[in-house]
Homo-oligomer: A and B are copies of this chain.
Amino acid sequence: MTTISKDAKLVILINVFTVEPTNQQRLVGLLARATNTSVRHAPGFISSTLHRSLDGTKVTMYAQWRNVEDYEAMRRNPAPAPYLQEALTIAKFEPGMYEVVDSFQPDSKDS
């Protein structure tokens, strides 16, 4: 379980991978293995959530990090690289580094 809040001042990575639908499940497996074997053990990693698009053409990782420096230190670590390199043979990668600016709830639970 992951919580999103604008008060947490975390860095958010939203990385969108575009893939042929026949390769979507394989890509999910590669990204899960990269995360389980390496990324989630890195200092400053808070959480990540892996999403598959219902049309089969995308896989998106939504990740929270304590700060930009911790994320960049992880990217310099070669351990997850084999899985990510294999992922990039079957997928295009569009990264994004964000901060939360606002969040919205239904009528009666304004944040």
Contact = CB atoms under 8 A, between A and B. Distances in A.
A51 B12 contact: yes
A96 B40 contact: no
Interface string A19-34: 0000000001000100
Interface in A22-66: 28, 32, 35-36, 39-41, 45-55, 58, 60, 62
A111 to B, nearest CB: 6
Interface of A is mostly: strand
Contacts of A94: 16
Most chain B CB within 10 A, of A3, A41, A62, A68, is at: A62
Contact of A100 (B46, B51, B101, B107): B51
A60 B35 CA distance: 23
A51 B14 contact: yes
A88 B84 CA distance: 33
Interface of A: 1-6, 11-12, 14, 16, 28, 32, 35-36, 39-41, 45-55, 58, 60, 62, 68, 94, 96-107, 111
